[in-house]
Amino acid sequence: MKKELLIASALVSTLGAASVANAVTATMSGSHATGLKSTDTEAAADATIAQANASDFSVSLSETTDGGIGIASSFMLSNEGSHLSTAGLTLTFTDGSKLDVINGGNAAATHDVAVPGTAGNPGVTVTSTNNAQTGLDFFGKATVIGFEWHSAADFMADGLKVSASVSADDGVAASTTVAIESSWGLGATYVTSAGDTAVTIGAGIANSEYKDSTASTEGSNGFHVGFSAVTGNLTVAAGYADGDLVRNVTTTEWQINDASVSKIGVKYVSGDVTLSAGFTSGEADDSNTLGSSGGSTDSKDETMLGVSYAVASGVTANLGWKDIDAVNDGSNDTTGGSSWYVGATMSF
């Protein structure tokens, strides 16, 4: 309760300390992607081809107080209005630092390095009991009652930016599924150069504590580290993450231990054409008994290729391919397979 009161007091005092001089500035952006997607799993007799659409529409709101403090928020309508995503408040200070005071998220995820892969939206959905992860930020969830602080550029050293986050219990009761009780996270990004190569290094660490009505949980924790090297039109990137997490699947709670993800990718830009390729390997031991350190082994290996072509301003044609080799509970997962996608994205 003390944490919630402190956060609420800080928000009210900050917003009330300065007056807004002008009307809020609103900017809009969005995109619409449409194409054909083929899916061919090991269990299916024939490949299927279907239309794949993805749309989003975002509105950003911002203004600056007389004291020079920026106040910003945003909301997003995605998938043609079927989902509404809203951000909290972000305060930008005169020294360049920022503070997300509502729904701040976890600072570790802010600093994961982007690794090239495919283009468009190819993919195969494997069985829901396969708990191998493929993202570098799979750990460290947060509640909406929390904040994340972002330093200004060149924090204590040229090219360094850092973030820190904390979240508290939002009062959601644990029943048939677990609920987050609190979390913290730390992250950093360092940008430097080596000759003609621009190098970016990102890393993060986080921990989330959970509560449950029937069993003790071990929480979600982990770390990630990655790098990206850009030389002319060529980008090479890689990342690694390791940690434990808790996952809800309908009414079943899974304890996922010793999860690890390794990613590597390459991208080359030649005029209006972008070529990309990537490989991701994820592995995890899962158990449907909370607090258990044992379990069976799941894995996912993803091989990706992509070609993008800038047709016109804001219009990109995409051709992508992805193959997933999956193992569930130590045995071959026949829901794995391959997928290709061909389509276009229009952005504004």
**What confidence tens digit (pLDDT) does each residue in 185-226 have?**
999 999 999 899 999 999 999 999 988 766 666 678 999 999
Using CA atoms, how far residue 90 sits from 16, 149, 150, 184, in Å, is: 15, 10, 10, 18
Q: Are strands 315-328 and 273-287 parallel, antiparallel or unpaired?
A: unpaired
* Domain extents in the chain: 2-21+34-347
Report the C-alpha gap between 185 and 172 in whole angstroms: 21
Specify the length of the chain in residues: 348
> Does residue 132 surpass a pLDDT of 80?
yes
Report the C-alpha gap between 220 and 139 in whole angstroms: 6
Range in 5-14, 62-71, 336-345 the model is least confident about: 5-14
Whole-structure pTM value: 0.85
Answer with the residue of higher pLDDT: 265 or 9: 265
Which of 261, 332, 255, 260 lies closest to 286, judged by CA?
255
Contact 9, 17 (CB under 8 A): no
Tell me what pLDDT residue 26 has: 93
Name the CATH superfamily housing domain 2-21+34-347: Porin (2.40.160.10)
Range in 3-12, 128-137, 203-212 the model is least confident about: 3-12
When the pLDDT of each residue in the chain is averaged and rounded to a whole number, the result is: 87
E strand spans, 213-288: 220-231, 234-249, 252-270, 273-287
